Amino acid sequence: MKKILTLENVCAGYGDVPIVNGIDMFVAEKEIVTIAGTNGAGKSTLIKAVMGLLPKLTGRIELNGASLQDQPVRRRVFQGIGYVPQVNNVFGTLTVMENLQVVEAVDDRKAMIDRMLSLFPVLAERRRTQAENLSGGERQQLAFARALMSKPSLMLLDEPSAALSPALTEQVFDEVKKLPRLGVAVLMVEQRARQALEFSDRGYILDSGRIVLADAAQSLLQNQEMADLYIGRSGARSGRS
C-alpha cells in the first residue's frame, strides 16, 4: 500500500490559536477516506490545510513522500491535488464549457474537456448553460469535472452532498465511487457520514480539532457509540441537526 498523503502532527488555524491540533492521518493510493465529526470540529480547516490555504501551520504534510511545506496552492494543484470546496466551486456566470476552459494546470485541454464531457454526459448536454442555472447535482458534477481536469492523484472533497436532495446525493456519491478506478484517491468530509462510510475504505472522526478515532470504514459503522455521537444510526439519515 503506497501512501499518497501523509499528515504528521499537523496544527493549523486562522490566527494564533490552532483549530486543528496534532493531526496524524494518511490516504493511500486509490483509497476513499471519509472524515466525519461534529459541526465546527475543524474538518474544513483540515482540508484547507492540505490545500495550502491556511496562514498558520506546524507539523508535516507530504504528498508522495515530498513535503508540501511552503508550496503555494497552485503548485499543489500541479503536483496532483484536486480540491472541490463546499461552496463557490464553479463560476456561476460562465457556461459549463467556459468553466472547463478556464481551469489552470491542464496539459491537453481539448482532450481533457472531451474526456470530462463523456465522463459526465449531463455536462455535455448542458455545455452552453450558465453554471448558475444548473441543478445542485449538475453543478457538483461540474465542480468535480473542473477538479479532474488537472489529472489529480488525490481529490479533496468538502461535503460534496451539502444542500443536495437524497436523490442528487446518490448521484454525486456515484461519481465519488468512480474516482479510485480513474486512479484518484479521495479524502472527503461528509455530514452524511453513514452513507459515505458505506463506500469508503477508512474513516477518521474529528472532534474539537483532534482525531478521536481512526478505523476501517466497516468497523466505524459497527461502532455503536461512535454511531450515536458522530455517524448516525442506520435507517435514520444522518444530517445536520
Ligand X SMILES: Nc1ncnc2c1ncn2[C@@H]1O[C@H](COP(=O)(O)OP(=O)(O)OP(=O)(O)O)[C@@H](O)[C@H]1O
Binding stretches for Mg ion (CB under 5 A): 43-44
Residue 194 partner contact from ligand X, Mg ion, none using kind-dependent CB cut-offs of 5 to 8 Å: none
Q: How remote is the C-alpha of 171 from its chain's centroid?
A: 16
CB 160 within 8 A of CB 82: no
Question: What is the closest distance, in whole angstroms, from the C-beta atom of residue 160 to Mg ion in the complex?
Answer: 12
Binding flag, residue 44, ligand X (CB under 6 A): yes
Residue 126 partner contact from ligand X, Mg ion, none using kind-dependent CB cut-offs of 5 to 8 Å: none
- Tell me the CA distances in angstroms from 184 to 81, 118, 144, 207, one per residue in order: 10, 17, 12, 27
All three cell numbers of 99, joined, read 468553466
Question: What is the closest distance, in whole angstroms, from the C-beta atom of residue 44 to ligand X in the complex?
Answer: 3
Cα-flanking dihedrals φ and ψ of residue 196, to 5°?
A: -70, -40
Whole-angstrom distance, CA of residue 158 vs CA of residue 87: 9
Binding flag, residue 41, ligand X (CB under 6 A): yes
Binding flag, residue 203, ligand X (CB under 6 A): no
**Beta strand ranges found along 14-78 (DSSP E):** 20-28, 32-37, 56-63, 66-67
User: How many residues form the binding site for ligand X (CB under 6 A)?
Assistant: 10
- One character per residue 113-142, x = contact with ligand X (rule: CB under 6 A): ------------------------------
Q: How many beta carbons lie within 10 A of that of residue 145, not counting itself? A: 24
Question: By CB under 6 A, which span of 4-12, 33-41, 137-145, 167-175 interacts with ligand X?
Answer: 33-41
Question: What is the closest distance, in whole angstroms, from the C-beta atom of residue 14 to ligand X in the complex?
Answer: 4
Question: By CB under 6 A, which span of 32-40, 131-139, 177-185, 218-226 interacts with ligand X?
Answer: 32-40
Whole-angstrom distance, CA of residue 199 vs CA of residue 134: 27
Whole-angstrom distance, CA of residue 15 vs CA of residue 115: 41
Q: Which is nearer to ligand X, 15 or 65 (CB)?
A: 15
Q: Which is nearer to ligand X, 224 or 241 (CB)?
A: 241
The one-character DSSP state at 180 is G
Binding flag, residue 19, ligand X (CB under 6 A): yes
Residue 19 partner contact from Mg ion, ligand X, none using kind-dependent CB cut-offs of 5 to 8 Å: ligand X
Cβ-based burial of 74 (10 A; exposed 0-12, middle 13-18, buried ≥19): exposed
Binding flag, residue 34, ligand X (CB under 6 A): no
Residues that bind ligand X (CB under 6 A): 14, 19, 37, 39-45
